[in-house]
Amino acid sequence: MAVTDAPLILKLSVDDAIAGLALSSEAHWNQTEEDWRIFLRDGIVFGIRDGMRLVATAALLPYSGNNAWISMVLVSGTHRRRGLATRLVDACLETARKNGLTSWLDATPDGAAVYGPLGFTPTLQLRRLKLTRPGRAELPPSSSATLEELAERDRRATGFDRTALLSAFAQRAGSLIVAANGAIALVRDGRTARHIGPLLADNAAAALVLVDQITRSETSPLLLDAVASQAAFMDGLTASGWTIERPFQRMRFGPATAAGEDMPFAVAGPEFG
């Protein structure tokens, strides 16, 4: 295919949320329509269509301190191995460069092999864990935790101010902010499973107690994206029935502009950081 015949890269709008959801659902990802609306409303989402059908996407979601997250890199099974994902990631990187943004992403092992030669630097590693059979619908843990407390702990862990993102999560039906004994977490709905994260805590024991309290109040499958270096936390989760689904490698393109003071135990998700 000649360069002039390459499919056009478009900027998508909030009207494309359902089409984006179809792509992430095809890939068996956990995003909801509300998640897509965050990217489309607060970030820049590039897409490629085949006729009227959306067949590929990549999103750039700006954060504070000249940082941005690249995610939602999706290509329909009917259009893979045509270089569409690379073109869309390049569009995200070029937009970040023009705006002076350092780009971050959480990559699968296959993705990390692609992003490394592009200039991305590995940082921390994540492990996605799943609990298929949680508790018996006990009452949710009582908590006087506030969005402000969660956002402040999240800022200390990431170096980013993500109050707007966490507020969008917290305002959804079914979302909870729970805290106990120096640990705090957000629980929200996903397409096929509830998601715990971010999870911040003073120590692994407090983090595990809070996760146990959450699981006892849930009946749906649960997902959690744990920081791999939090070994005691990881060991406690697997001992209590959580299974590791897949690894992710966090990577950065550009100078380090933010450094967290504390290490999180679980993140908001590979699509959000």
Q: Assess whether 176 and 240 both reside in one domain.
A: yes
Q: List, for residues 164-188, the tens digit of each pLDDT value.
A: 999 999 999 999 999 999 999 999 9
Spacing of C-alpha 163 from chain mean position = 15
Q: What is the pTM of this model?
A: 0.92
Output the CA torsion 127→61→30→221 (10° steps): 60
We report the CATH number of the domain holding residue 87 as 3.40.630.30
- 83-119 residues labelled b (16+ CB within 10 A) or e (exposed): ebbebbbebbbebbeeeebbbbbbbeeebbeebeeee
Could you tell me which residues are beta bridge partners of residue 246? 128
Q: Which of 58, 85, 100 is the last residue of a domain?
A: 100
Q: Please, are residues 10 and 52 in contact by the beta-carbon 8 Å criterion?
A: no
* Cα–Cα dist 132/119, whole Å: 37
Domain range for 17 is 3-100
Number of domains in the chain: 2
Note the pLDDT tens digit of each residue in 130-146: 999 876 666 666 677 89
Q: Residue 240: which CATH number?
A: 3.40.630.90
pLDDT tens for each residue of 10-34: 999 999 999 999 999 999 999 999 9
| 166 and 262, same domain (yes or no) | yes
Q: Average pLDDT, stretch 178-205?
A: 96
Q: How far is CA 223 from CA 154, 190, 216, in A?
A: 19, 9, 14
**In the predicted model, what is the mean pLDDT of residues 257-264?**
81
